[in-house]
Amino acid sequence: MLRQQEDCLALAARLGFDDPPVFIDNDVSAFDGGRRPGYDALIAQVEGGVTHIVVWHVDRLYRQPRELEGLIDLVEHHPVRIESVQGGGFDLNTSEGRLMARQLVAIAAYESGHKSDRVKRANQRLAEQGRWHGPARYGYGPGGVLIAEQAAVIRQMADRFLAGESIRSITAWLNRSQIPPLRAGSDTSGLWHPYTVRSVLASARISGQRAYSPGTRADPAGGREILGPGDWERIITPEETARIRAILADPARRRTTTARPSLLGGIARCGKCGAGLTIAGHTSAPGANPTLRYVCQKDPSHPERGGLSISAPLLDDEVTRGILHRLGRPRPASDTSPISALVEQIVETNQRIALLEQDSAAGLITPRERMSGQRAAEEALQAAHRQLAAAGAVGLLTVPIGDPAGLESWWRRLNVADRRAVITTLIRKLTIAPGRPGRGFDPARIRITYAS
Ligand SMILES: [Zn+2]
């Protein structure tokens, strides 16, 4: 708190204000709805004609959207400029400044709500049972508090490994996606190493289990001996840890799954029986090239299965078009999924940055205004990306959202596993309805339910 105050006073001095009055609301949480005497006193000052407010971060000033609206109303009659140590300044008298402030406060409110839930849950767990021992590890903060963004990355690592990807390929994916590793000791390269990936995957802790640790900080590559259940939240199941360890101990175990993965195999489901469709080659005439189709496979133990199929390349194209469309344009009002809201926020922030550049080129705003607007927008972008990661949408972190040309070439560069990760992030259900015999490809058979 004291450091934040010093930062604010230093910024005020740089702006030419000596000895300004200071308002502090020390221990009022953003979401308990408690009164904030410092805030009320500050508002009284604005009504009295103050022209500048310096804050450490905007979320210290108005921590809920409705507080911001109150402040904006006030500013209609009392012009005031807000400068923040973290994230630059903006002018609530301009629509640009108001938009920026609304966006930042919406993100801050979202973050604050989630963080307090997480902390509450963690404290409750610690009280009920024993404790987490040792330092923070990837996926968990000090005390074993689950870190949602990192947990989502671990979930992806495990899915990819169990689906047949190698440790090397997962390491490359992490580095390509610019997902930062946990910094350990002197290693500040910011890159993942195969050894780290292996030890995270083999660790007992990610499935919520205690392991024997004979005084070493680093995890052995095959994983430590498991003692029993731990008292922290698990990211994968103990069965998955057992399968991961078995494959690590004997890579030959997964030679059975050498087939190249298809884009939608297992993701697309049969509209008659609900089974996951698998890809198969069909030859229409002897000697002709096989055409690939997703099919509901016959299964003697499930007599309801079989009979349904759809062209694989055409379904792939149709779903790809839907995905790119969704990432390229703001959502319709009917779409209330938080991931879509974040995607839309990113699109809007990018448009705002472009607008700032235009206004600056036309001489409508000063370079200083442009800089601070840009800083605020970039902070909003980073926050939106953190939220995407926290929502488990790590597949979307490197997406050029809102840029149709960039999206196309980004998609072309992805491998099938990455594309499947993006698809399963955005789509909750993909169902293929039965077709009429003798008809060609009918897009109306495709039912997409987007993630919410
Ligand atoms: Zn079926």
Separation of CA 293 and ligand 1 centre (Å): 14
Q: What is the pLDDT of residue 231?
A: 77
Separation of CA 210 and ligand 1 centre (Å): 42
Separation of CA 430 and ligand 1 centre (Å): 13
Q: What is the pLDDT of residue 325?
A: 85
Separation of CA 295 and ligand 1 centre (Å): 8
Separation of CA 310 and ligand 1 centre (Å): 12
Q: What is the pLDDT of residue 109?
A: 55
Separation of CA 1 and ligand 1 centre (Å): 61
Q: What is the pLDDT of residue 414?
A: 82
Separation of CA 63 and ligand 1 centre (Å): 51
d(CA 43, CA 22): 12
Separation of CA 271 and ligand 1 centre (Å): 7
Q: What is the pLDDT of residue 258?
A: 41
Separation of CA 429 and ligand 1 centre (Å): 15
Beta partners for residue 282, in sequence order? 291
Separation of CA 305 and ligand 1 centre (Å): 4
Of 228, 168, 175, 179, residue with least CA distance to 201 = 168
Separation of CA 314 and ligand 1 centre (Å): 19
d(CA 422, CA 425): 5
Strands (E), 8-134: 52-57, 81-86, 88-91
Separation of CA 277 and ligand 1 centre (Å): 8
Separation of CA 447 and ligand 1 centre (Å): 15
Separation of CA 306 and ligand 1 centre (Å): 5
Q: What is the pLDDT of residue 261?
A: 66
Separation of CA 265 and ligand 1 centre (Å): 13
Separation of CA 368 and ligand 1 centre (Å): 62
Separation of CA 428 and ligand 1 centre (Å): 19
Separation of CA 263 and ligand 1 centre (Å): 19
* CB distance 311 to 443 below 8 Å: no
Separation of CA 226 and ligand 1 centre (Å): 41
Look up residue 33 and give its two tokens: 């709805």
d(CA 142, CA 136): 5
| Domain 129-254 indexed as CATH 1.10.10.60 | no
In the three-class reduction of DSSP (H, G, I as helix; E, B as strand; rest coil), residue 209 is classed as strand
Separation of CA 298 and ligand 1 centre (Å): 8
Give pLDDT tens digits along the chain (452 positions).
Answer: 667 778 788 888 877 887 788 877 765 444 344 567 777 787 788 778 777 888 876 666 665 566 667 777 776 677 777 777 765 566 676 666 676 666 666 655 555 555 555 555 654 555 444 456 666 788 988 878 888 888 888 988 988 888 778 888 899 888 888 788 876 544 456 788 888 898 899 988 898 887 754 444 455 555 666 767 777 888 888 888 888 888 888 766 554 444 456 899 888 999 999 888 888 876 566 666 667 889 998 877 788 888 899 999 999 999 999 888 888 776 665 666 677 777 777 777 777 777 788 778 877 778 888 888 888 888 888 888 888 777 777 667 667 777 777 888 888 888 787 888 888 888 889 999 998 877 788 999 999 988 76
The vertex-179 CA angle with 115 and 375, nearest 5°, equals: 70
Domains of the chain, by residue range, sit at 2-116, 129-254, 315-450
Separation of CA 155 and ligand 1 centre (Å): 29
Tell me the pairing of strands 278-282 and 268-270: unpaired
**Topology of the domain comprising 2-116:** Rossmann fold (3.40.50)
- Model pTM score: 0.44
Q: What is the pLDDT of residue 105?
A: 62
- 280: DSSP letter: E
Separation of CA 258 and ligand 1 centre (Å): 25
Q: What is the pLDDT of residue 409?
A: 83
Separation of CA 151 and ligand 1 centre (Å): 34
Q: Which positions ≥6 away from 42 have C-beta within 8 Å? A: 23, 53
Separation of CA 304 and ligand 1 centre (Å): 7
Q: What is the pLDDT of residue 134?
A: 63
Q: What is the distance between the terminal CA atoms of the chain, rounded to a whole angstrom?
A: 37
Separation of CA 302 and ligand 1 centre (Å): 10
Separation of CA 296 and ligand 1 centre (Å): 5
Separation of CA 319 and ligand 1 centre (Å): 20
* CB distance 426 to 288 below 8 Å: no
